[in-house]
Amino acid sequence: MDRFRPLSQQQVRQLEKETRIEHVWSSNAIEGNRLDQFEAASILNTGVTVHGASVKDILETLDLNEAYEYMMSLASKKEPLTQTTVRDLNRIVTLQTTSDKSEAGVYRAVSVWPNGLENHPYVSPINIRPSMDQLIEWANKNQGKLHPVIYAADLHLRFVAIHPFIDGNGRTARLLMNLALAQSGYPVINIQPDRQERYAYMDRLERARSGDAQAFEQLIANYVEAELKRRIETLKLDEKNIREAENEKRLPEKNSTNYPNSDFNQPKPFSDR
- Selection from 135, 139, 113, 138 nearest residue 125 by Cα: 113
**Distance set, CA 161 to CA 10, 106, 128, 170, 242 (Å):** 40, 17, 10, 11, 48
138-176 as b/e: b if 16+ CB within 10 A: ebeeebeebebbbbbbbbbbbbbbbbbbbbbbbbbbbbb
Reply yes or no on domain 77-236 having CATH 1.10.3290.10. yes
> Do 95 and 104 contact (CB within 8 A), yes or no?
yes
Residue ranges with strand state E in 111-258:
none
Annotated binding site for ATP, which residues?
Answer: 167-174
Residue type, 218: Q
> Do 215 and 204 contact (CB within 8 A), yes or no?
yes
> Do 177 and 153 contact (CB within 8 A), yes or no?
yes
- The model's pTM is 0.89
**Distance set, CA 253 to CA 173, 249, 250, 259 (Å):** 53, 11, 10, 10
Give dist(CA 169, CA 43) in Å, integer: 23
Annotated binding site, which residues?
Answer: 167-174
Hey, which residues are catalytic here?
163
- Selection from 148, 154, 215 nearest residue 186 by Cα: 148
Q: Where are the domains of the chain?
A: 77-236
Give dist(CA 238, CA 258) in Å, integer: 29
- Selection from 48, 225, 49 nearest residue 148 by Cα: 225
pLDDT tens by residue, the chain, 273 residues? 889 989 999 999 999 999 999 999 999 999 999 999 999 999 999 988 888 899 999 999 999 999 999 999 999 998 999 999 999 999 999 999 987 888 899 999 999 988 777 778 899 999 999 999 999 999 999 999 999 999 999 999 999 999 999 999 999 999 999 999 999 999 999 999 999 999 999 999 999 988 999 999 999 999 999 999 999 999 999 999 999 998 988 877 766 555 555 443 444 454 444
Q: Is 107 helix (H, G, I), strand (E, B) or coil?
A: strand
Q: What angle do CA 81, 87, 90 make, to 5 degrees?
A: 115
Residue type, 23: H
Give dist(CA 130, CA 139) in Å, integer: 14
Residue 92, class by beta-carbon neighbours within 10 Å (0-12 exposed, 13-18 middle, 19+ buried)? buried
